[in-house]
Amino acid sequence: MNPEITSVAAAFLGLTAMALPVKADSVDARCDIYPKGEDRASASLACSFSQNQGNVYIDRKDGVSYQLTPEGDQPGNYVDSSGSAVYRQSGLGKDGLIFRMPDESVYVYWDASSLAPTRGYDNPTAPYTTAEYDATTLLPCSITDPSHDQNCPAGIRRGDAGSASIRVTSPDGVERVLNFADGNVTTPDGGDLTWGKQGDSWYIGIDEREFYVVPEAAVNGG
């Protein structure tokens, strides 16, 4: 882990007995999002973490923010902006913290370097590899408008005929999960999902901001 990241994180959270200088109001981090009851992250994206007078602020790159206020005398107990209970856990050790929200868990990792993998000619679809997925590919994609003028790496796990779960990383580093079954497209990530099929491809939009094209061959193989 980057020593500078470790120092800043420790200063925020009092993880060491020595008082460490804080050079910034927030630290860049990686947030993995686990829907309630799930053991697989639905998204892994850049975020920032800050703490001020006990209040915790987490700002995700996709625009979602959390403001947590300490509750009671027990350390690690908070309420969010709607008054719901949130619990902080230290199950990640010095690597980060876990926040148990009402509908999801947010794993905050101080080292965000894994969000910017180096793609070489040996694996243009990194971080997805055929060691973990049935297939990998580059999907046409774009941000802001449906120009589909970029390529996004994706990993594909196939199920029964016509069904697959595809993990794709958007141009701004947000990982999405797209599930295909019975001619329908869904996502566990939330947001406003729209889709339509033209010829042999699905055209998918999320929040009218992210746009993907998924060929039928990616879902069915062949």
Q: What is the pLDDT of residues 166-202, one digit of tens each?
A: 999 998 888 999 999 999 999 998 889 999 999 999 9
Give CA–CA dist 92/109, Å, rounded: 8
The domain defined by 3-114 folds into Glycoprotein, Type 4 Pilin (3.30.700)
- Under the phi-then-psi rule, with left for phi > 0, alpha for psi from -120 to 50, and beta for the rest, what region is 130? alpha
CA-based nearest residue to 105, from 51, 49, 30, 32: 32
Which of 22-26, 172-176, 213-217 shows the highest mean pLDDT? 213-217
Q: Check pLDDT > 60 for residue 20.
A: no
pLDDT of residue 24: 39
The β-bridge partners of 143 are: 210
Helix %, strand %, coil % of the chain (to 5): 10, 45, 45
Spatial CB neighbours of 86, under 8 Å, sequence gap ≥ 6: 66, 68, 77, 78, 79, 80, 99, 100, 101, 102
pLDDT at residue 16 greater than cutoff 50:
no
What's the number of CA atoms in the CB half-sphere (13 Å) around residue 13?
A: 24
